[in-house]
Amino acid sequence: MGNPVFPILERIAAAGRAFEGDEIGSRESLIELGRDLIAALEIPSEFLQRSFWAEPALSAHCKFAVEVKLFQHLKNASDAGISSDDLAQKTGVDVVLLQRIMRHLIAMKIVSFFNGKFFGTALSDGLAADNYQKSIDFCYDVARPSFNGFPEFFKKTDYKLPTSLTDGPFQAAHGTQLPFFPWLVATPPHLDEFDAFMSAYRAGKANWYDPGFYPVAGRLIKGFDPSNNDVLLVDVGGGRGHDVQLFATQHASHPGKLVLQDREPVIASIQDKKKLPFESQAHDFFTPQPIKAARAYALHSILHDWGDEEGIKILESLKPALKPGYSRILLNEIVLSEEHPTIAATSMDMMMLAHFAVRERTEADWKAILTKAGLKLVKIYSYPGVAESVIEAELAVAAYVK
């Protein structure tokens, strides 16, 4: 085998040209190739130093930065920068301690230093936003202890997969017998942090109904027949309607009605329903779907919260509402690649392993549960740099052949 570095450098050059041309996915390709380059060049001692010293210290410093509003002070200083003494005064941190922490943040490319002053970067300025500040709190205080506890937890369980919502790495790390969501409700700061984390998780990424992702015009709007039902799209378990509202904005001239469904307390919490571009309806997705023969039923990150048995029940509850050859189920979910898994996909799988007794699924996994529910996979649509794909499914022929 030849030196692996040179082919990577050639691909980086090509990706750089694509990035210069503003090609979709080129930014993510450069990041991934950067990781390839580090993996090809890094020796074991450097790997240990980065993984077990530099990166844990970085996450701790980001938590520290939230506490003293460090990134906000750097952002406010703008192009003028800020000296060590002034930054120490604003944060209330000992100047020598501050300098040592700032040096590590500089080394980790989070902030910069020039002519005796500290400067924010596009990254640190972005992290100064409230939802990212709360996301750092959630990741450091809630998720990280669960990951740190993996070795001991799995050793105690003889390296078996967790199967209980009340006895997993999360419960062991936080000394609780509560499932993840009830625990969040019982610890209000963390519930707010988790909500912020979820708002930040997909920020800057394409939505499934955006141009170049799922072909809404060709697969939903074309062929829409109001004589079946005047509903174009049902957003099943769609929360307060974030997705369906953006869908309405992106496809303002869409035919038919849009309907949001979720549990009664969620629907009741929606303000100014009459002003919204969709209808709302209380519905438990484990019960039969009340809207028959809609063009499409969308479920965004619903099934990944459930095991296979529950996922099949959710799909089976939808199945009687489907019109053969017309209605579609759209699952907006991660599809794990076995050959080329991405960090975005595998890190979410680790979140599910740590905090729930469930997993992200491969294409084969998705085909299996769809088949058991009497459905067939039509096609998987993906978008560069987006963790979730759109899994389009419909009734299997055997499910409606008399």
The residues annotated with a catalytic role in the active site are: 304
Q: How far is CA 100 from CA 77, 107, 112, 164, in A?
A: 20, 11, 13, 43
Give the separation between CA 217 and CA 254, rounded to whole angstroms: 9
Residue 254 in contact with residue 221, Cβ under 8 Å? yes
| DSSP codes joined into one string, 93-158 | --HHHHHHHHHHHHHTTSSEEETTEEE--HHHHHHTSHHHHHHHHHIIIIIHHHHHTHHHHHHHTT
At 382 the three-state DSSP class reads coil
Give the separation between CA 379 and CA 386, rounded to whole angstroms: 17
Only one residue has tokens 């409606």, namely 400
Which one-letter DSSP state was computed for residue 60? H
Residue 305 in contact with residue 356, Cβ under 8 Å? yes
Residue 334 in contact with residue 389, Cβ under 8 Å? yes
Give the separation between CA 123 and CA 112, rounded to whole angstroms: 11
| DSSP codes joined into one string, 169-187 | HHHHHHT--S-HHHHHHHS
End-to-end CA gap in the chain: 59
